Amino acid sequence: MFHPADITRRSFLQVGYSGLLGLGMSSLVTNRANANQAPSPSLPGRAKSVIIVFLTGAPSHLDMFDMKPDAPAEIRGEFRPTATRVPGLHVCEHLPRLAARSNKYAVVRTLSHRDFNHLVSTHHVLTGHQQPGAFFDKVASRDDWPSYAAALDYLRPRNDGVPSGVNLPTFLMEGPLTWPGQHAGFLGPRHDPWQITRDPNRPDFGMDSLRRAEGIDITRLDDRRALLAQVDGQQAHLASLAEGRRLSDQQRLAFSILASGRIARAFQMDQEPTAVRDRYGRHAFGQSLLLARRLVQAGVPVVQANMGIVQNWDSHADNFGTLKNRNLPPLDQGVSALLDDLESSGLLDDTLVMLLGEFGRTPRIFSVGNGAIPGRDHWAPCFFGVFAGAGVRGGLVLGRSDRIGAFPATAPYSADDVGATVYSALGINPHVEVRDRQNRPVTLNRGEVMQALWTGRTA
């Protein structure tokens, strides 16, 4: 697994070091033909960027976007629904800003899969494919399927100094458990998204939050480039080797990413007007979403903003207190500001925004042990997703769950379908073949595009 912190000064000077920035000796232009695998004309393919607002730990669908006010008390819970701008659509009373912006997004109420484990489900939702050899708490490995950003980087490699994907502000890892779905999997570490592991709300937040090697400053990279050129000159014989030519390409890409003024400026959060920062909220949720917008403006095509630390939305106990007091207010503020900001800047037309977790929560409220505050357990058969931008029709409600929110009452959408939708929106044929670690051809995604997000028509 690659982190920019793994770069050392010596790495920049050892021309033969094949792991620089995780970009091995193999050519960065391999499979460029696949990069232009276009979807069929019926697919949307209009997004330049995707922002994944990931509610790690799995939020309760029954307490946010699929409330059941007429169900028994042990199902409906403590929260009351509030009306939105869309007739017939009600959301949680603790999401007033999103209720006022319901015309900007579509709600899918019938996402469904079979995995009740956090790690396995996270892989499924963030890659659009079931985890190979999945079992309870199966940690990340190079046999996993690639994340959306990694697959995009594989199919459309770039050398303009802008990474294909950035994950922020937390790396999903707890003790020995590393969440799958955050990496390039079998495509290899050279395609791993960049990781930001510092709260953008901190006053010392900056470009070094990418954990670049200490002492390598953006303003000094030109000097390092000149020094490297001298070393290259002393080893001119490498130029006659095909591997040497490829290494030269990877060095240029490494420098261009680290020295990119576009990316460096995106991290200058203090350049944002105070009113804008306040509108997003002076908390990790809000400032992470503001940074996501800035990275999209800089040209990053896939940004994943993890809303909270690992399993932040895992509400086995005190479901209602956790949502009301910790999670819903900053989420409501930050996502609403993001939608407003993207719309006012014209970026919403080209940016697909997704808000979802790895599954939902049990319809029935329960308590474990004496004095436990009621909560909800894991529930994968039915959960929600919110989609906006890139031509998605606002004000839609797709799918209907049964009377207690346990199972879809209409045709469900799978996590594979979420993946197909992401790829298609980015102009990639979801069914394109890629190569696994044994160089075998495999189909990237087997889902179906959620066309109804754009057409409003369901089968």
pLDDT digits (tens, 9 = 90+) for 137-176: 999 999 999 999 999 999 999 888 899 999 999 999 998 8
Highest mean pLDDT among 154-163, 190-199, 243-252, 384-393: 384-393
What are the tens digits of pLDDT across the range 345-372? 999 999 999 999 999 999 999 876 666 7
pLDDT of residue 211: 47
The reply to whether CATH 3.40.720.10 applies to domain 31-206+267-455 is yes
Domain ranges of the chain: 31-206+267-455
Higher pLDDT, 396 or 224: 396
Angle at 82 between CA 78 and CA 83, to 5 degrees: 160
pLDDT of residue 49: 98
Q: Please determine, for residue 219, whether its predicted confidence score (pLDDT) is greater than 60.
A: no
Q: Please determine, for residue 247, whether its predicted confidence score (pLDDT) is greater than 50.
A: no
Mean pLDDT of the chain: 84
The stretch 227-244 carries a mean pLDDT of 49
Q: How confident is the model at residue 457 (pLDDT cuts 50, 70, 90)?
A: confident
- Give the lowest-confidence range in 316-325, 352-361, 368-377: 368-377
What are the tens digits of pLDDT across the range 381-418? 999 999 999 999 999 999 999 999 999 999 999 999 99
Q: Please determine, for residue 210, whether its predicted confidence score (pLDDT) is greater than 70.
A: no
